Amino acid sequence: MSRELRKSGTLGEVLLWKEIKGRKMGYTFTRQKPILSHIVDFYCSPLHLAIEIDGVTHDSKTEKDERRQQELEQRGITFLRFSEGEVRSNLDSVLREIKEWIKKETTPTPIRIGAPPLLRGIK
């Protein structure tokens, strides 16, 4: 099933794939990745990030898409969704949003030097 989806991808999926395949974003993405009983357009395993391109076919499947997304989010997967038109007409903005999400999620929280230790059980 996922092989057929890769062959019949939309223009938006093809355009985005050209920009994120390999390690162009610093992480490896998989195209048309099966997860449980679902298939997501793009998936980055180390980041637990799914990227979906919503085309015209998604208009009639809104409830189904929401249930699928909720099921996968309950397993720790984050979704970034873009419309087919958005990818086609403003690819740079889509790429910028993905890069910003990656940077935000992978930047370690700074350790505060000189912060008082946690005092547990002391009243």
We report the CATH number of the domain holding residue 66 as 3.40.960.10
Q: How many CA atoms lie within 13 A of 29 on its CB side?
A: 23
Domain count for the chain = 1
Tell me the average pLDDT across 97-115.
Answer: 84
Q: How many CA atoms lie within 13 A of 20 on its CB side?
A: 28
Boundaries of domain holding 61? 2-106
Instruction: Please identify which residue in the block is written with the tokens 């999400």.
Output: 101
> Residue 53 domain-assigned?
yes
> Residue 73 domain-assigned?
yes
> Residue 115 domain-assigned?
no
54 SS3 class? strand
> Residue 70 domain-assigned?
yes
Q: Please, what is the angle between helix 11-20 and helix 91-106, to 10°?
A: 50
> Residue 64 domain-assigned?
yes
**CA-only gyration radius of the chain, Å:** 18
For residue 113, what pLDDT band results from cuts at 50, 70 and 90?
A: low
pTM of the model as a whole: 0.78
> Residue 119 domain-assigned?
no
